[in-house]
Chains A and B, each alone.
Chain A
Amino acid sequence: MLVDSYKIEEILPCLADPEKIRVIASLSDDASEVMPYINSIIKNAIYIKSANAITIPQGEKLITIHPRKIAITRVDDEKEAKKILDEMLKLINDTYEKRNDIEPNYERREKPKVMDIYKLLPQNNCRKCGELTCLAFAVKITEGKASILRCSKLFQAEFSRKRAQILELLQKAGFEIPSAFR
Chain B
Amino acid sequence: MKVTRHIYLDYNATTPLCSEVANVLDRCNRLIFANPSSPYEIAKKTRLEIEKARDQVAKLINCDKNEIYFTSGGTESNNLAIKGYLDYLRNLLYKQSIMARNKRANLHLITSQIEHLSILNVFRYIEKNYKDNYQCMVSYLPVDGSGFVDKGEFRSAIGKDTVLISIMLANNEIGSIQPIEELVKIAKSLNENIIFHCDAVQGLGKMEIDVKKLGVDLLSLSSHKIHGPKGVGALYVRNGVKLFPILHGGHQEKGLRPGTENVCSIIAFGYACEIVRKNLKRNIDIMAKLKEFLKEKLIEELSGMVDLRINSPDKKCLPNTLNVCFNGVDSELLISYLSREGIYVSSGSACTSGLIEPSHVLLAMGIEPELAKNAIRFSLGVENTERDLEEVVKKIKEIIVKNKLN
Interface residues of A (CB under 8 A from B): 9-10, 15-16, 22, 24, 26, 50-53, 55, 62-64, 66-69, 71-73, 128, 130, 144-147, 149-150, 152, 155-158, 160, 176, 178-181
Complex contact B333–A69 (CB within 8 A) = yes
Interface-central residue, A26, A62, A128, by most chain B CB under 10 Å:
A26
Residues of chain B within 8 A (CB-CB) of A15 are 350-352
Query: Taking A15-B350, A24-B336, A152-B153 as contacts, is the C-beta distance between A68 and B120 under 8 angstroms?
Result: no
Q: List 5 A-B contacts (CB under 8 A).
A: A22-B351, A50-B370, A157-B138, A176-B357, A181-B140
Query: B355 to A181, Cβ gap below 8 A?
Result: no
CB-nearest residue of chain B relative to A148?
A: B363
Among B344-381, those with CB < 8 Å from A are 350-360, 363-364, 366, 368-370, 373
With known contacts A72-B354, A147-B364, A147-B369, A180–B117 Cβ distance under 8 A? yes
Say yes or no: A155 contacts B140, CB within 8 Å.
yes
Instruction: Determine if A64 and B333 form an interchain contact, defined as CB atoms under 8 angstroms apart.
Output: no
* CA distance in complex: A22, B355 (Å): 11
B: residues with CB less than 8 A from A are 108-109, 113, 115, 117, 120-121, 124, 127, 137-142, 153, 157, 330, 332-333, 336-337, 350-360, 363-364, 366, 368-370, 373, 403-405
A92 to B349, CA, bound (A): 28
- How many angstroms from the CA of A53 to the CA of B351 in the assembled complex? 15
Which of B157, B332, B354 interacts with A156 by CB under 8 Å? B157
- CB neighbours of B352 from chain A (8 A): 15-16, 179
Q: A24-B333, A156-B139 are in contact. List 12 more A-B contacts (CB 8 A).
A: A9-B336, A26-B333, A50-B370, A62-B353, A69-B330, A144-B369, A156-B157, A157-B137, A157-B139, A176-B358, A179-B117, A180-B121
**Known A24-B333, A150-B366, A156-B157: A68·B404 in contact at CB below 8 Å:** yes
Residues of A within 8 A of B363 (CB): 147, 149-150, 178
Residues of A within 8 A of B370 (CB): 50-52, 144
Q: Give 6 closest A-B pairs by Cβ, nearest first.
A: A178-B360, A62-B354, A157-B137, A152-B142, A147-B363, A64-B354
Q: Give the interface centre of A51, A53, A152 by most chain B CB atoms within 10 Å.
A: A152
Contact A66-B366, Cβ < 8 Å, known A22-B351, A156-B157, A180-B120: no
A157 contacts B142, CB within 8 Å?
no
- For residue B366, which residues in chain A have a CB less than 8 angstroms away from its CB? 130, 146-147, 150
Known: A157-B138, A180-B120. A24 touches B157 (CB 8 A): no
CB distance from A39 to the nearest CB of B (A): 15
Q: CB-CB < 8 A to A145: which residues of B?
A: 368-369
Q: Quick one: closest B residue to A12, CB to CB?
A: B351
Which residue of A has the minimal Cβ distance to B352? A179
B172 smallest CB distance to A (angstroms): 13
> How far is B366's CA from A10's CA once the two chains are assembled, in angstroms?
30
- Tell which of A69, A72, A178 touches B332, judged by Cβ atoms closer than 8 Å: A69
Does A152 contact B141, Cβ atoms closer than 8 Å?
A: yes
Q: In the bound complex, do residue A155 and residue B368 qualify as a contact, i.e. CB atoms below 8 Å apart?
A: no
A68 touching B355 in the complex, CB below 8 Å, given contacts A155-B139, A180-B360: no
For the complex formed, measure the closest distance between the CB of B176 and the CB atoms of chain A, giving whole angstroms.
Answer: 16
Please give, as numbers and ranges, the residues of chain A lying within 8 Å of B140 by CB-CB distance: 155, 181
The residue that A64 contacts in the complex, of B124, B153, B355, B358, with Cβ under 8 A, is B355
Q: Which residues of A contact B141 (CB under 8 A)?
A: 152, 155
A128 engages B369 (CB within 8 Å): no
Rounded to whole Å, the gap between the CB of B265 and the closest CB of chain A is 26
Q: Which of B108, B115, B369 contacts A51 (CB 8 A)?
A: B369
- The answer to whether B369 touches A180, judged by C-beta atoms less than 8 angstroms apart, is no
Q: How far is the CB of A154 from chain B (nearest CB, A)?
A: 9
A26's partner among B120, B351, B359, B403 (CB-CB below 8 A) is: B403
Closest to B120 in A: A180
Q: Is the CB of A10 within 8 A of B139?
A: no
Pairwise interchain contact B355-A53, C-beta atoms closer than 8 A? yes
Q: How far is the CA of A152 from the CA of B110 in the complex (A)?
A: 13
Query: In the complex the two chains form, is B142's CB within 8 Å of A51's CB?
Result: no
- Which chain A positions have C-beta within 8 A of B333? 9, 24, 26, 68-69
How far apart are B402's CB and chain A's nearest CB, in angstroms?
11
Q: How far, in whole Å, are A67 and B352 apart by their CA atoms in the complex?
A: 20
- Nearest B residue to A72 via CB reads B354
* Minimum CB distance partner of B110 in chain A: A157
Are B369 and A179 within 8 A (Cβ)? no
Task: List residues of chain A with CB within 8 A of the CB of B127.
Answer: 160
CB pair A160–B138 under 8 Å, yes or no, is: yes
Which single member of B142, B330, B354 contacts A55 (CB below 8 Å)?
A: B354
Min C-beta distance of B135 to chain A, whole Å? 10
**Within the assembled complex, what's the spacing in Å between the Cα atoms of A53 and B358?**
13
